[in-house]
Amino acid sequence: MSEIKKVVLAYSGGLDTSIILKWLQDEYNCEVVTFTADIGQGEEVEPARAKAQAAGVKEIYIDDMREEFARDYVFPMFRANAMYEGEYRLGTSIARPLIAKRLVEIAAETGADAISHGATGKGNDQVRFELGAYALMPDVKVIAPWREWDLNSREKLMAYAKEHGIEIDFAKQSKKSPYSMDANLLHISYEGDILEDPWNEPEEDMWRWTVSPEKAPDEPLYLELSYEKGDIVAIDGKPMSPAQVMEYLNEVAGAHGIGRDDLVENRYVGMKSRGCYETPAGAVMLKAHRAMESLTLDRGAAHMKDELMPRYAEMIYNGYWWSPEREMLQAAIDKTQEHVNGVVRVKLYKGNVIIAGRKSASDSLFDESIATFEDDAGAYNQKDAEGFIKLNALRLRIGAKRRQK
């Protein structure tokens, strides 16, 4: 362990990472650099500075990464309409490559020998952090305390904190939510406690960002989302940055009971896991983006995107954001978005995102003169359909004759 002189730790200032900080100092006898990312988790990050200083940390990084997270990670992912296993909007998964990137950048800036994180040996996050780090800094050393120590319960962690005089609000910890939670601009997740039994319904007081659909307003809220190249750039005519879009949609959609999910998913490490998620902005963005594409995206491109999407989503879920195959797919996806421009009107009502209209002044492929059920003045010759059908039926007819013999 003596070759490790300096470590960059992904640090929140909470119980786990406060203990990891002390553990690294003692077990590795090394200097620790802390990195705290504000990616919209909704909690004050500055207190982490005081805690790190109290622990003797000299180099402290606290970065506001909300815009970068929304612009360079969430928005590109949603251009692909990405959903893992058809339901999960990848709220935790998409934050990890950004954190991994910044960890190795700080390691390079400070001359650190290693990076460290607080992900457990049972979860996906250890894979995501480390695959990202290795992709960007191939020779980086990674220290994952949960794979080394025997502090495998909250009780043991609390006892370690008391024994070593680590500054922890023990009264607050005793009142802390029983769930393992993760939050950022895109979502908040809940795992553990009663959720470990997939038969148990989540308790209503667990949810933090959304009201229950039953208690949502009786009047719907209409929004007009303006798109440029597949990204929302304005709401109700007001220009917004990517992070502002997400913050606003989280607020208004959450108030209408939108974005709750209760899933059993397949972790990359092999086990099934039950988790609950609140993703208000993501629920609106995905629904509206599909509506915008339905008007402006060619059928062949749209169908191929849908075929590729599960692979793309799986790459993100499994930690391959920085892989050549994800970057290759991203280039193809972004190419399809050149004409995804226009406005989508959505209605938010009691847990539902309802498409109430869509239009595109210059990029719509919808031709009313052809699609109409009224007189189309010769725009479409219905007699042409006969030959089209017969040619497509040719192989079916040949096969049927063979079966008749």
Residues paired with residue 180 on neighbouring β-strands, in sequence order:
191
Annotated active-site residue in 71, 180, 182, 294: 180
Alpha-carbon distance of 238 to 69, in angstroms, equals 21
Active site residue 376: no
Task: Note whether 189 and 181 are within 8 A (CB).
Answer: yes
Write down the residue that tokens 């043991």 correspond to: 156
Query: 141 is written with which tokens?
Result: 């050393």
Alpha-carbon distance of 178 to 18, in angstroms, equals 19
Q: Which amino acid is at 259?
A: G
Alpha-carbon distance of 319 to 316, in angstroms, equals 5
Q: Provide the H-helix boundaries in 256-323.
A: 280-296, 299-318
Write down the residue that tokens 């290693």 correspond to: 114
Q: What angle do CA 140, 122, 196 make, to 5 degrees?
A: 150
Annotated active-site residue in 96, 274, 326, 358: 96
Report in angstroms the alpha-carbon separations of 129 from 103, 116, 134: 9, 9, 9
Q: Which amino acid is at 249?
A: L
Annotated active-site residue in 12, 16, 38, 274: 16
Q: What angle do CA 223, 228, 232 make, to 5 degrees?
A: 40
Q: Which among 144, 185, 149, 183 is positioned nearest to 9, based on CA atoms?
A: 144
Alpha-carbon distance of 373 to 371, in angstroms, equals 7
Active site residue 395: no
Q: Which amino acid is at 373?
A: F
Q: Which among 2, 36, 3 is positioned nearest to 21, based on CA atoms?
A: 36
Write down the residue that tokens 């895109």 correspond to: 186
Active site residue 180: yes
Alpha-carbon distance of 182 to 91, in angstroms, equals 9
Annotated active-site residue in 116, 125, 231, 326: 125
DSSP secondary structure, 173-191, as one string:
HHHS-SSEEEE-SS-EEEE
Report in angstroms the alpha-carbon separations of 165 from 169, 245, 275: 11, 43, 33
- List the catalytic residues: 16, 96, 125, 180
